[in-house]
Structure 1
Amino acid sequence: MKKVGYLLVLVAGLFYGCTETEEINDSVTGKAYYPLSIGDYRIYNVTHVRFEQDSVSDSTTFQLRERVDTLFTNLAGEPTFKLIRSIRTKPDDSWRDDSVITITVSSSQLRRTSDNLSLVKMVFPVSENKTWNPNVFNTLEPGNARYVNVNQPYAVNGQNFPNTATVQVNDFVSVINKDVRTEVYAENVGLIYKDYEVLQYCNDNQICDVGVDYILFGYRRTETLESYGKTE
């Protein structure tokens, strides 16, 4: 009886130890910056502005909700979460399902697939100035994403987050175009802020007959976390 009891205690201890280690590793590797659990949701205030011929051609504001719906295993044996994206114009409007995205998590990276475009959003472990190519799984030109301000506080929409990591998805500025895309993730919350500014300039007076920094076309999109939680 004593031996059986000892074995039960040992097995229980090993099981608890593995569970605790996995949780610690999620924090250490940085996976806690993009938590995923069925029922989790995040609501964002979105502003999308389009530019054309150096003026605003269209501007829209709305709310976007991402909700973790289901979990399945893909053909490579990787856990993959299906997220349902819904939109509404005003906070008192009903949600309208808009699209579906999937998030695939491996030991080394997190991939997000939407409209048949797969992007590496994060790599693990998260560390300052680590770089990677977000376009490994698509046909776009290689990119150069980078972590900055890892483990730093960040405030957005009146909410203070003590531990965040910023991803510079792209940071390119020239005389003919600008492509600056930034995402901020908070530990145990996920994406809290997103700012994309993609503009095409015309600086050749012989072609455009305009001054410098004339915007031919482009857009700016910001997403700010409004609330988050878990559905029943």
Structure 2
Amino acid sequence: MRQVLFILLMIGLGACQEEIAPPTLNFRYEYFPLSIGQQRNFIVDSVLYDPQGSRVQIDTTTTFVREIVVDTFRNASKALEYRIERFERRDPGSPWVLRGVLTESRTLTQAQRFENNFRLLKIIFPVKVDQQWNPLVFVDPATKVDVKGEPLELFKGWEATLVNIDQSWNQYLNTLEVQFSDYENAIELRRGTERYAANVGLVYRELSVLNTQCLMCQGQAWEKKAQSGFILKMRRID
């Protein structure tokens, strides 16, 4: 499925007898800064639910992640992409190990991230509270990913909403919050949110992708009744 998302930007029109300056539109690109040499450090806590017959094994891990913007290139559409190397280590005393390469791009109206063969539409510009968009413009929402041997519909029910902007959060004076998934039924949960700080970029990501077949567990917290899936929490530490 391929959809194209356009934002039409209107510019003020001058009257016949007098010239009127067009209004200035603040797109707020500072929430998704991109430049060569940027370094981002995160700590990632994850909980994985591994179904093993009649029981579920719950594994928790902590990983340190570093992303470095190392280069730019033009893609097949001639758009500018920033090449980012991703490093990981288990504890602060271990050496960094290169785990992958991803890209990000920012056009007049879109911020995108391409990772693990998925291109996601992160933000649309100019930003506005309650703005909604499809983050899966370039992704089949029925795509399944393997988590502990279980194929999960990771992107089921995803729809992005810009919840707030210019709000203080933790040590950051101005942040933007995007809820990119809020889908739930009796046996599935897909809930995710991201926060971006002005002139910093992503500072927090949380994603829960959980399934259960326990129909008698209504009212229980998902952390208790989940039988497969994962919970991921990623926060900036630099």
TM over 0.5: yes
* Residue 131 of structure 2: aligned partner: 130
Counterparts of 1:135-174 in structure 2, within 5 Å, are 135-141=136-142, 143-155=158-170, 160-174=171-185
* Residue 202 of structure 2: aligned partner: 191
Structure 2: which 5+ residue stretches go unaligned?
Answer: 1-23, 143-156
* Residue 217 of structure 2: aligned partner: 211
Residues 115-168 of structure 1: CA distance to partner in whole angstroms, max 9, x if unpaired?
A: 22111111111110101101111222573101012111111xxxx111110010
* Residue 41 of structure 1: aligned partner: 39
CA RMSD of aligned residues (A): 1.8
| SS state at 2:158 partner | coil
1:70 aligns with 2:71: yes
Structure 1: which 5+ residue stretches go unaligned?
Answer: 1-23, 205-209, 228-232
Contact 1:147/1:165 (CA < 8 Å) preserved in 2?
A: yes
Contact 1:170/1:180 (CA < 8 Å) preserved in 2?
A: yes
* Residue 113 of structure 1: aligned partner: 114
Quote how far apart the aligned CAs of 1:105 are.
Answer: 1.7
- CA distance in 2 between counterparts of 1:170 and 1:36 reads 25
TM-score by length of structure 2 reads: 0.76
| SS state at 2:123 partner | strand
Larger-Rg structure: 1
Which contiguous aligned blocks of 4+ residues in structure 1 show a shift greater than 6 angstroms?
A: none
* Residue 21 of structure 1: aligned partner: none
* Residue 202 of structure 1: aligned partner: 213
Contact 1:52/1:215 (CA < 8 Å) preserved in 2?
A: no
Partner amino acid for 2:233? T
* Residue 8 of structure 1: aligned partner: none
| SS state at 1:32 partner | helix
Contact 2:63/2:90 (CA < 8 Å) preserved in 1?
A: yes
Partner amino acid for 2:82? F
Q: 1:101 to 1:203 in 2, by over 3 A?
A: same
- CA distance in 2 between counterparts of 1:56 and 1:185 reads 33
- CA distance in 2 between counterparts of 1:215 and 1:143 reads 19
Percent identical among aligned pairs is 30
Partner amino acid for 1:184? R
Which of the pair is proportionally richer in helix?
Answer: 1
Residues 169-222 of structure 1: CA distance to partner in whole angstroms, max 9, x if unpaired?
A: 101122211111010000000110111111112243xxxxx5335322111001
Partner amino acid for 2:168? P
| SS state at 2:227 partner | strand
* Residue 187 of structure 2: aligned partner: 176
